[in-house]
Each structure stands twice: as structure tokens, then as C-alpha cells.
Structure 1
Amino acid sequence: MKRFIIICSLIFLTSCSTNFNPSHYSVGDEYELINVSGNALELFPKADALYASQYIPPEIAEIAWNDTYILAKQIEKIDDPNNPDASVTNETTENYWIIDLKNNRRFGPYTKKQFEEQKQEFRIPKQVQLQNVKTYFTKEKQPS
């Protein structure tokens, strides 16, 4: 009887579903959003040794891409003066980045105004609009 209870318990425990929280999301063929801690996401090249300079630090809040460019909005973290081992989100400091996929170059950080000007200079289509990164992780969770 004890074996039966143990086996049933193991089956029950292993079949319980967990709250699936993906740790990465592919952005095009060469990049991925990686969950580094909590909700802090960074954009990193899949071939990190070759394109390590194209890295965009956490916390990426919004992203968009096409075959030519990746656009990203980053919320800058600052040190917490009360706890040197922690950081707090400074939501007033936003950095914008552009990665030119054809030439493997990263541009930024930009202010919002500089970012909009640079998008026009690069002739990035208006359809390539920044979206909250949670949108992509939600799409990935949905069953096909």
C-alpha cells in the first residue's frame, strides 16, 4: 500500500503544471532576448563571440525588427544608494538603440528625439514600431 501511495504521489507531483516563464525569445535569425533575472531582458547575439559588441544591456522594455534593423527601448538601471548589491529601475531614463543587421553595427544609446531622427535617416519603415517585449513572450506561450 505504501508503494502505491508513493507511486501515485510521484505521478501527481510530476504531472503538475508550472507557470511557464520562457527565458529567451528569438529575434530574427541572429539575436535573442534573454531573461537575465526577474523581468530584466537583454538583447544578445546568438553568435556572441563574433557580434558581442552588438549587445544591448537590460532592461529592454520594447523591441521591433525587420530583415534590416532591430529597434529597442531600454530602461536604464541605477544603483540603489541604500543597498549596493541591488538596483532600482529609473523609469525616467530611457535609452533607444538601433542595430543594423546588414552591417553588424549597433547605434545608440539615443534619446527619444535622436532615435526618431535616426529612424528617418536610416529610412526605417513606419510599420516597424516598438512593442512591449511581453507581447512576444505571450505569443510564444499560446498553443498552436
Structure 2
Amino acid sequence: MNFRHRRTEDPEINLIPFIDVLLVILIFLMLTTTYSRYTELKVNLPVADAEKARDHPKEIVVAVSADGRYMVNRQAVAGRGVDELAQAMAIAAEGQGERMVIITADAAAAHQSVINVMDAARRAGLSQLTFATQSSRANGAEAR
């Protein structure tokens, strides 16, 4: 019988493969992560005051229909392009100083149509924009 005590080595945890796997997982997570950049559209909403009368001559109301047609102060715009719309807005703002542009867009209107109105206002030199919405409580009453 052999009663000699064999000397065994202490078990070791090999960290090299563990670090390799973690590095691969880290690279995978870095490559597949989407970085979202949240932007905010700063819109100055008008304050309603019941005592003051609205000054309609300083407003240009631009309506956008669901199919992309435009109306400036209840006058139909001949074309659907930004240039025609900018020209109609410039004519409506002629000689009145700084005017407020109120965009009333149909809920089914394309986003591009609303962006075209904003671009046309910029081209016409009109910097004050606001959007008109309908109040859900008043069933069609317009609130801005």
C-alpha cells in the first residue's frame, strides 16, 4: 500500500476567460445601445384674458386641410408649395408690422404640411407662431 500523501495544488479560478467574455459583452452592449437625444419644441402659448378684446387685424390665420391645401385668412392659396404660401402670407402681413401666425391644421393633415407653413412664415419674415387646438370639453370651441 502506498500511504504517501500526494501533494495537490490548490484549485485556482482562471480569470482571463471571464474577463474576455465580459469584454465581448461590454462591446456588444455599447454597439447595440441606441442613444436618444430628446429635443423640445418651445412654443409660447398665448394667455387668454377675458377682459381684453382680441385684436384680429394682427393675426394671420393659416388653415391646413387634411389633403394638404392651404388657406390664408380664409383665402385659398393657389398652389401647395412653400413659395406660394410664403407669398400669400407676405401679402396678408403687408404694412401691418409684426403679425401673429395662427396655424389651424386638421388632425389628419400630414406633418410636412404644417412644417411647410412654418417654413413659409420664416420666409415671409413672420416669427411669431402659435397653433390652434380644439377643446375636448367644448365640442368644437376653439381654444388657443
User: With structure 2 as the length reference, what TM-score do the two structures score?
Assistant: 0.26
More strand by share: 1
Greater RCO between the two (CA within 8 Å, min separation 6)?
2
Higher CA-based Rg: 2
